């Protein structure tokens, strides 16, 4: 799962989760940003593609490392 969170003063404003597939806001300002970002189809497709770039590419590496330590 790919998660990208946006914080200000240790308060989470907005989060993108690949399992949800869109931005979710946690404050009033974060909700407004999430609505704006969710209306941008190119941004959503770019964030969904980040799962393949970061997560799926590194799964065999971390999986192999976890198996050798057990």
Comparing C-alpha atoms, which of 34, 27, 33 is closest to residue 13?
27
pLDDT at 70: 57
* DSSP class of 23: E
Beta strands 3-8 and 22-25 are unpaired
Indicate the pLDDT class of residue 60, thresholds 50, 70 and 90.
confident
Query: Which domain covers residue 49, as residue numbers?
Result: 3-68
| Beta-carbon count within 10 A of 23 CB | 23
Average pLDDT over residues 3-31: 95
- Find out whether 13 and 28 touch, Cβ atoms under 8 Å: no
Write the CATH number for 28.
3.10.320.10
Higher per-residue pLDDT: 64 or 51: 51
Percent of the chain with pLDDT over 70: 97
Total domains, the chain: 1
Two structure tokens written together for 54? 């970061």
State the average pLDDT for the chain. 90
pLDDT at 29: 97
């Amino acid at each position: 799962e790919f998660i990208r969170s946006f914080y200000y003063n240790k308060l989470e404003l907005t989060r993108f989760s690949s399992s949800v597939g869109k931005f979710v806001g946690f404050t009033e300002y974060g909700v407004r940003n999430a609505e704006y970002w969710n209306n941008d189809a190119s941004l959503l497709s770019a964030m969904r593609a980040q799962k393949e770039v970061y997560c799926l590419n590194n799964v065999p590496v971390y999986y192999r490392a976890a198996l050798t330590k057990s």
